Chains A and B, each alone.
Chain A
Amino acid sequence: MPPDLSTSPPAAYDIAPRRTGVLVPVPPKETSVENLDTFRAEVAKWLEENCPASMRKPMTSEDEANWGGRRKQYTNPDEKLWLDRMAARGFTCPTWPKEYGGGGLSNAEARVLAEEMRKLRARQPLVSFGITMLGPVLLEYGNEEQKREHLPKIVRGEIRWCQGYSEPGAGSDLAGLQTRAEDKGDHYLVNGQKIWTSYANYADWIFCLVRTDTNAPKHDGISFILFDMETPGVSVSPIKLISGSSPFCQTFFQDVKVPKKNLVGKTNGGWTIAKRLLQHEREMIGGMGFGLGGSGGGASIEQLAKDYCGDDAGRIADPIVRFEVAQHLMDQRCFMTTVRRSAEEAKAGQGPGAASSMFKLYGTEMNKRRYELLVRILGSQALGWEGQGFSPRELSTTREWLRSKGNSIEGGTSEVQLNIIAKRVLGLPD
């Protein structure tokens, strides 16, 4: 779901005036150290009292994450309790304004909250595309009614969103999208097809790019609309991947009626919003800890290497595997430190910048290298597909290795990220 670059804004920062670093601006709010300490004590106590014991255990697979939504079935009542308690304080969206259900925290306070949650090994109570992608652009581009309607439901996990971006003919060339939305007076009539719609089969609503002017240059005829997936004419078909899972869908629209009030921003002004949302998506993908963990907890990669490749007096016996494990752990550290630096170097009031491309690029490529290394370490035990003879972890490594191949494609391919860095960060000419 990557951007076409031909109308990207001019280089946001040039290399000529030397700078000390990359910028992923986060709006800083001043919070004194004293207040932070008070906040930390309060939040630690609150978490200790409110986080149920079963929510303090690491998830064993991605499937255990709570995405919320109308169709969510809670098998563990603690999961619901934890979500409701966190949502009541706005802690599922800690930095969003309180008036829309958010926590109203400064970035420093949000970091403290995250740190205290980590100390308890508390699970994220809610993950969603509403939190990471739609919410931030609604805050920036949505009208008051849209913010009041949609943001609190995202905070509380009541509505699960999906992203209607890519089409069969519009992958890297996203702005070439063909899904039409005809103006029928009080509503739009939407016809077309989306693809790679993550979890569309579980989603309640979709944020969708549609063509509202077929005569304008391709970037100037796109609008950003929202609609309910239960609207007549919407149908969904999951796509089976090489990993065996089906996180993506094809989504079809046949004469879908969408109220005009569900247009975000201006008619034909959707590309600006689309690109901003992609920055948030890249940040999410780059920063979601790709390459930092994986394979459902358990033994560290260095321990696995000793277990599967031999332990020579405390050393990984295979010197090349030892070398690669060291390289990987060092890469992780450099990457995490860069994420931290860009936040610390951020300037007030700026949206996420082109550095999100670097994080997306490096985070996903590092994650792919991690799985290649894991497969190398686990050997034929990482090549089982199902059934007897393999531990659950071995089988999940196989699937995750295959799944990781999509990381550098979804959300803008690595090649597109390189284009964005070259153009927007380095200012190289077209």
Chain B
Amino acid sequence: MSLALSEEQELLRNTAREFIAEHSPVKELRRLRDTNDPVGFSRELWGQMAELGWAGIVLPEEYGGADLGWAELGVVLEECGRTLAATPFVSTLLLAANALLLAGNGTQKKDLLAAVAKGQTVLAFALQEGAHHAPYQVATTAVATKDGYQLTGKKTFVQDGHVADQLVVVARTAGKPGDRDGLSLFLVPKHARGLGVQRTTMVDGRNAANVELAGVEVDKSAVVGTLGRGAEVLDPVLDRATIGFSAELLGTITEAFERTIAYLKTRKQFGVPIGSFQALKHRAAEMFTQVELSRSIVLDALRAIDEKRPDVPALASIAKARVSDAAHLVGNEAVQMHGGIGVTDEEEIGLFLKRARVAELTLGDAAYHRARFASLAGF
């Protein structure tokens, strides 16, 4: 599949860009933040996105999805990233629905995927436990009871956890933290007894939560996939989600970069545009190179999912590492090159830095993915 956008993809991009510019410009994120919006995103906007077919864009038609590819999903996510649009794409579609699609039983899929595609259900994916992404470092336990399982443990950095109707929880039915074996996935409804969800206020104004499972009881039908072999679901889900999320981050850094270039052309000091100074030109050109490399690898990784290529796991790590490094550079340089205005809350560029840093750490930072790539490559 060509890395160039097809006509249909360009059309989708233009539609997405216009829609998002109108309904979710950067100031919408600011509004959500400044009003302490209890949901953290606009349910109305998410409903409209569902009507456009985006909420279930990669889900099969039988569940009400659009049955398009990850290349198309990436187009939409990139546009969302450009305006820092707050949506439950990552929590609901990329992570939880994706897990259900890959491993859920007939009932789970039927009940939840159609509701996701309609924009009626928000899901969350409760995996991380420490300060860093480490998928097998799961201490949360699931102990068999007479009718099902009892879940005990603590989760953190759970996107949209406080507004999710159901959570997909990764717990351990065997082994010890760090083991790949012995993980299991469970569906936990938001009103389950013993489930405590506490929203955490993040620097980027986007949703996250701490989740406590204090002996939460679920029945056997809550298991997603095969007991003790959750990693077989977790790995491909994380690969895909990481690639999709990289597309969103790509949009964010592309926008921050372009805003910075525009600023270099208009801001004058010493009677000339500051973009005429070679010290800034060279740094701008370095950023350009990083953004272009990021774009190539994200586009290839999205297509690798659609083509069912065996290098999806490696590409997920290459893409996330590259985009994370680029986000680090662009976020910092964007603020520096905007000068004093760049460190004010009023100027939007600071919001890009904040989002870039949170996104850099979400689903594994560059260091995590370099190490993972090395392991995958056998060194």
Residues of chain A touching chain B, judged by Cβ–Cβ distance below 8 Å, are 15-16, 18, 20-22, 302-303, 305-306, 314-316, 322-323, 325-327, 329-331, 333-335, 337-338, 340-341, 344-345, 355, 358, 361-362, 415, 417-419, 421-423, 425-430
Output the residue of B276, B292, B296, B367 with the most chain A CB within 10 A.
B296
The 7 closest A-B pairs by CB, nearest first: A422-B281, A421-B285, A338-B296, A302-B379, A341-B3, A428-B275, A337-B296
Residues of chain B touching chain A, judged by Cβ–Cβ distance below 8 Å, are 2-5, 13, 254, 258, 261-262, 264-265, 272-273, 275-276, 278, 280-282, 284-286, 288-289, 292-297, 299-300, 317-318, 321-322, 367, 370-371, 373-375, 377-379
Determine which of B254, B289, B317, B374 lies in contact with A362 in the assembled complex, contact meaning CB atoms within 8 Å. B289
Q: Provided the pairs A422-B281, A422-B282 are in contact, do residues A323 and B371 lie with their beta carbons within 8 angstroms? A: yes
| Interchain CB contact under 8 A, A22 and B293 | no
In whole angstroms, what is the CA distance A419 to B280 when docked? 10
| Interchain CB contact under 8 A, A422 and B378 | no
In whole angstroms, what is the CA distance A358 to B5 when docked? 21
In whole angstroms, what is the CA distance A22 to B284 when docked? 15
With a cutoff of 8 Å between Cβ atoms, the chain B residues found around residue A345 in the complex are: 3-4
Q: Provided the pairs A334-B322, A422-B281 are in contact, do residues A21 and B370 lie with their beta carbons within 8 angstroms? A: no
Q: List 6 A-B contacts (CB under 8 A).
A: A20-B13, A20-B295, A329-B373, A341-B300, A418-B281, A426-B284
With a cutoff of 8 Å between Cβ atoms, the chain B residues found around residue A330 in the complex are: 317-318, 321-322, 370, 373
With a cutoff of 8 Å between Cβ atoms, the chain A residues found around residue B275 in the complex are: 422, 428-429
| Interchain CB contact under 8 A, A344 and B4 | yes
Q: Which residue of B lies closest to A355 (CB)?
A: B292
| Interchain CB contact under 8 A, B379 and A315 | yes
Determine which of A314, A337, A361 lies in contact with B3 in the assembled complex, contact meaning CB atoms within 8 Å. A337
| Interchain CB contact under 8 A, A422 and B292 | no
Determine which of A326, A341, A361 lies in contact with B4 in the assembled complex, contact meaning CB atoms within 8 Å. A341
With a cutoff of 8 Å between Cβ atoms, the chain B residues found around residue A331 in the complex are: 293
Shortest B144–chain A CB gap in Å is 34
Output the residue of B282, B285, B286 with the most chain A CB within 10 A.
B285
With a cutoff of 8 Å between Cβ atoms, the chain A residues found around residue B294 in the complex are: 334
With a cutoff of 8 Å between Cβ atoms, the chain B residues found around residue A315 in the complex are: 374-375, 379
In whole angstroms, what is the CA distance A334 to B320 when docked? 12
| Interchain CB contact under 8 A, B293 and A334 | yes
| Interchain CB contact under 8 A, A422 and B318 | no
Determine which of B3, B262, B375 lies in contact with A15 in the assembled complex, contact meaning CB atoms within 8 Å. B262
Q: Which residue of B lies closest to A428 (CB)?
A: B275
In whole angstroms, what is the CA distance A327 to B294 when docked? 14
Output the residue of B272, B276, B292, B317 with the most chain A CB within 10 A.
B292
| Interchain CB contact under 8 A, A316 and B286 | no
Q: Provided the pairs A22-B292, A334-B322 are in contact, do residues A428 and B276 lie with their beta carbons within 8 angstroms? A: yes
In whole angstroms, what is the CA distance A392 to B296 when docked? 37
Q: Which residue of B lies closest to A338 (CB)?
A: B296
**Known contacts A18-B258, A322-B379, A426-B284; can you find 13 more A-B pairs with CB under 8 A?**
A15-B258, A323-B371, A330-B318, A334-B296, A334-B322, A337-B293, A337-B300, A345-B3, A361-B289, A362-B289, A418-B285, A425-B288, A426-B288
| Interchain CB contact under 8 A, A340 and B262 | no
With a cutoff of 8 Å between Cβ atoms, the chain B residues found around residue A305 in the complex are: 379
With a cutoff of 8 Å between Cβ atoms, the chain B residues found around residue A423 in the complex are: 281
| Interchain CB contact under 8 A, B258 and A327 | no
With a cutoff of 8 Å between Cβ atoms, the chain B residues found around residue A415 in the complex are: 282
Q: Provided the pairs A322-B374, A422-B281 are in contact, do residues A429 and B295 lie with their beta carbons within 8 angstroms? A: no
| Interchain CB contact under 8 A, A21 and B379 | no
With a cutoff of 8 Å between Cβ atoms, the chain A residues found around residue B2 in the complex are: 344
In whole angstroms, what is the CA distance A338 to B286 when docked? 15
Shortest A226–chain B CB gap in Å is 34
Q: Provided the pairs A418-B285, A421-B289 are in contact, do residues A340 and B3 lie with their beta carbons within 8 angstroms? A: yes
With a cutoff of 8 Å between Cβ atoms, the chain A residues found around residue B284 in the complex are: 422, 426, 428
With a cutoff of 8 Å between Cβ atoms, the chain B residues found around residue A344 in the complex are: 2-4
| Interchain CB contact under 8 A, A334 and B297 | yes
| Interchain CB contact under 8 A, A316 and B379 | yes
In whole angstroms, what is the CA distance A230 to B350 when docked? 64
Determine which of A326, A337, A358, A430 lies in contact with B370 in the assembled complex, contact meaning CB atoms within 8 Å. A326
In whole angstroms, what is the CA distance A22 to B288 when docked? 10
Shortest B346–chain A CB gap in Å is 24
Shortest B333–chain A CB gap in Å is 13
Determine which of B272, B276, B292, B377 lies in contact with A21 in the assembled complex, contact meaning CB atoms within 8 Å. B292
| Interchain CB contact under 8 A, A427 and B293 | no
Determine which of B5, B261, B297, B322 lies in contact with A428 in the assembled complex, contact meaning CB atoms within 8 Å. B261
With a cutoff of 8 Å between Cβ atoms, the chain A residues found around residue B3 in the complex are: 21, 337, 340-341, 344-345
Q: Which residue of A lies closest to B2 (CB)?
A: A344
Shortest A175–chain B CB gap in Å is 18
In whole angstroms, what is the CA distance A316 to B374 when docked? 9
| Interchain CB contact under 8 A, B370 and A323 | yes
Shortest A323–chain B CB gap in Å is 6
Q: Provided the pairs A326-B371, A341-B3 are in contact, do residues A15 and B261 lie with their beta carbons within 8 angstroms? A: yes
